Chains A and B, each alone.
Chain A
Amino acid sequence: MSAPTRQDIRRAVLDTLCAIAPETDPAEIAPNRPLRDQVDLDSMDFLNVIIRLHETLGIDIPEADYAQLATLEGAVDYLARRCGAG
């Protein structure tokens, strides 16, 4: 399987957020604002987001890297780098 594109990764992140926080409107998410200011996520929810991304994209996300997933844009950058996206 070829590496996912940035578009695939963005979709995976948004799908995950919508699954964990069903009231999320993907169109409303500002890419550079902290996700936790925009989506009602507590630490259990955030951990579930990480677990789901791990399952979807097949990469391990160490706890020390969580801060890099604080915004949508940051998460897509980080995950694209980790997945070797083209």
Chain B
Amino acid sequence: MPTLGADMEAGTLVEWLVKPGDEVKRGQVVAVVETQKGAIEIEIWENGTVDRLVVEPGTKVPVGEVLALLRAPGEAAAAAPAAAAPRVAPVPKAQAAPPMPRSATPSPAAAARAKVSPAARQLAAELGLDLEAVQPAEQGGVISRADVERAAAARKVAPGAPAAPAAADWRVQMRGAIAAAMARSKRDIPHYYLATDIDVTAVTDWLAAENLKRGVAQRLLPVVPLMKAVALALRETPGLNGVWADGAFRPSAAVHLGMAIAMRGGGLVAPAIHDADRKSLDTLMADLRDVTMRVRGGRLRSSEMSDPTITLTNLGEQGVECVLGVIYPPQVAIVGLGRITERAWPVQGTVAIRRILTATLSADHRVSDGHTGGLYLAALGRLLQEPEALR
């Protein structure tokens, strides 16, 4: 179970998209996992053949637990095919029989968690009950339907206990995920904040001329050249691009730009647009369109959730002039862009009406200093004077 963002502790396997014996390639989507931030497609990071699916659909497992076993290319099956066949047979989905130990040969993963009957697991999911809160009737025994019913009844009478089924209310879960990540950020990361006004008239003029040449479906949004410049400027200040892990900063050579995208009905996610510094504006636009659509209706992929190296929050849409972002751990910086406004602006000794954008940087003082941050914003401003070079 991969970690799909700060403070994710567990995920529920929704479905497998592969079966034992299937060949898989690095980057292929193999499963769907339900998290606090909705359903995420899980990609695999090795080539090989699926040997065994360890975790059944509907099971909630902690981060780090084995989901499936994979054979490397050319590696023989762990056991003789004849013996392997019954071992890979999936546990029946709807088991009406009384609870019993699920497998004669439990995997290390299965042994590490409480034993739960499939019927109990299904009931717990329906009731929105966390199985970790359920105790089996016998110490060390299997959690049965009756145990789940008892725990659910106890929850109802507990004063102040949430009445709504948690599984149904993803908004509450999403709020909880954001709360956990942001509280951790404000607790652990000593932020410093910088802001600067950038004249983006060159970009908006170039974009208007460019969009005039383009059909409706090929047009670029103003945020797209800004994304490119935000990503490119990081090459000059690598101390802002990467993650804080195990008490040290790990810089990233690649720029995976997390785009803060609001969800309909509340909440937000910041999935990565990979290698944003190396993509053309057309590709960035296509990627942004794709990821926005999937945030709002489809599914995000595990790599998008887990590997942004910096976040961009663009609140100009709502008329906000200046946003000072909260860093999304384990990242070490977040860039904020406000609304592009027309302002009276000195140009070569006279006053002109120019289009101005307030760009901000919130960064982790454990990793960088205001001087680095200042260099970054200066580089961003410089790159935005030459929109042709951003293409």
Q: Which A positions have Cβ atoms within 8 angstroms of B?
A: 21-23, 40, 42-44, 47, 50-51, 54, 60-64
Contact = CB atoms under 8 A, between A and B. Distances in A.
A59 to B, nearest CB: 9
23 contacts: A21-B264, A22-B264, A23-B264, A23-B265, A40-B264, A42-B262, A42-B317, A43-B221, A43-B223, A43-B317, A44-B288, A44-B292, A50-B216, A51-B216, A51-B217, A54-B217, A60-B215, A60-B216, A62-B212, A63-B208, A63-B211, A63-B219, A64-B208
Contacts of B211: 63
A43 B289 CA distance: 11
A62 B262 CA distance: 27
B222 interface: yes
Given A44-B288, A44-B289, A44-B292, A54 B216 contact: yes
Interface string B209-227: 0011001110101110000
Contacts of A42: 262, 317
Given A61-B216, A63-B219, 17 more contacts: A22-B264, A40-B264, A42-B262, A42-B317, A43-B221, A43-B222, A43-B317, A44-B288, A44-B289, A44-B292, A47-B219, A47-B221, A51-B216, A60-B215, A62-B212, A63-B208, A63-B211
Interface string B17-41: 0000000000000000000000000
A36 to B, nearest CB: 9
Nearest to B316: A43
Q: Which 8 A-B pairs have the closest CB atoms?
A: A54-B216, A63-B211, A42-B317, A44-B292, A51-B216, A51-B217, A43-B221, A50-B216
A30 B292 CA distance: 27
